[in-house]
Amino acid sequence: DIQMTQSPSSLSASVGDRVTITCRASQSISDYLNWYQQKPGKAPKLLIYAASSLQSGVPSRFSGSGSGTDFTLTISSLQPEDCATYYCQQSYSTPLFGQGTNLEIK
C-alpha cells in the first residue's frame, strides 16, 4: 500500500511569509496528488489538483509542485485567512490523505 508522509505536522508563520508544506509518497504516484485546506468545523476545500493545477476560485498565492514521490504546497505570501489545516491526498490508487499540517499565524 502507498503511504503518504506530510511535514511538518504543524507550523507557525507570520503574515506575508512564504510557507511550504511537503508531502512524500512511499512510491511513485506520478502527478496524482491533491491538496486541501480545512478550517475548524468546516468541510475541506480543494486547493490544488494534479499536483500543480489551481482549483477554480482559489487565490493565486497557493501553488503546488512535484511529481513522482515528492510534492510541495506553497503559500507565497501568508494571509490571516490561511490559518487552517492542510492535507495532501494521493489519487493514484485507493485514495489516501496525509496526516495534515496545522498552520498557525504568529
Q: Does 55 bind another protein (CB under 8 A)?
A: yes
The Cα–Cα gap between 96 and 38 comes to: 16
Q: Does 58 bind another protein (CB under 8 A)?
A: no
Sites for another protein among residues 69-98 (CB under 8 A)? 87, 89, 91, 94-98
* Minimum CB–partner distance for residue 27 and another protein (Å): 17
Q: Which of 82, 88, 100, 65 is nearest to 17 (CA)?
A: 82
Q: Does 49 bind another protein (CB under 8 A)?
A: yes
Q: Applying CB under 8 A, which part among 12-20, 46-54, 59-67, 68-76 lies near another protein?
A: 46-54
The Cα–Cα gap between 33 and 61 comes to: 18
Q: Does 54 bind another protein (CB under 8 A)?
A: no
* Minimum CB–partner distance for residue 15 and another protein (Å): 26
Q: Would you call 81 helix, strand, or coil by DSSP?
A: helix
The Cα-based distances of 84 to 28, 37, 43, 77 in angstroms read: 28, 6, 11, 15
